[in-house]
Amino acid sequence: MSYKPPPSLADRLSILNQQIRDAEQRFGRTAGSVRLLAVGKTQGTALLRILASLGQKDFGENYLQEARVKIAALKDMCLCWHYIGRIQSNKTAELATQFGWIHSVDRLKIAQRLSEQRPQNIKPLNICLQINLDKETSKSGISISQAPKLATEIAGLPHLRLRGLMAIPKPQADFEVQRQQFSRLRHILEDLNSSGLHLDTLSMGMTDDMEAAIAEGATIIRIGTALFGPRQG
């Protein structure tokens, strides 16, 4: 039996982009409507630079300490950085200046600090509210019932642009169950828009459930494992 080398990072990116295009077509989505967010948690700057050189422009980070090193090292690549981790109040100034997107806002206080600390000479900071669909204590996020009030409050803050919602549902193996979970987030966004907001982003879906997320309207999927392989340790 001949040896088959493992897929390169370029191969993985190409395969993943094709899977996204195929899912868009299969579920009646507009071509190019789903953005791939490469989640570089624990990955070195060199790998991210390779991805960037292959055309990947959106990168997600969970930890500010890791992110600041990567953002500085890759400043020449003109990338868009997304923060997807827990937010500490004492770190909002750096988040407000270093990132283009924050996906994990779940408190008005945090949004107010980001608004005050976002430099006025750059574009508004894109914001997603994190929804905790199943009230899991291990996860951040607001309850579904809290979404209308917080969304309305944040939508009125200067230097921010409320774009939509983010969620991390419980892992499920069944495709239809995955779809049901993601449809809940889509319905929340639709309800908010019917009340007068103008949201256009659903940040949902990871390596094991991205097709179900695309089927239910995801506009950003957050992918780590399918690009970099399983994390070590």
pTM of the model: 0.95
C-alpha pair distances (Å), 224 with each of 1, 9, 28, 36, 58: 31, 12, 25, 10, 12
Question: Among 3.40.50.300, 3.40.50.720, 3.40.630.30, 3.20.20.10, what is the CATH number of 9-228?
Answer: 3.20.20.10
How confident is the prediction along the chain (233 residues), in pLDDT tens digits per residue? 555 556 799 999 999 999 999 999 999 999 999 999 999 988 999 999 999 999 999 999 999 999 999 999 999 999 999 999 999 999 999 999 999 999 999 999 999 999 999 999 999 999 999 999 998 888 999 999 999 999 999 999 999 999 999 999 999 999 999 999 999 999 999 999 999 999 999 999 999 999 999 999 999 999 999 999 887 65
pLDDT reported for residue 138: 86
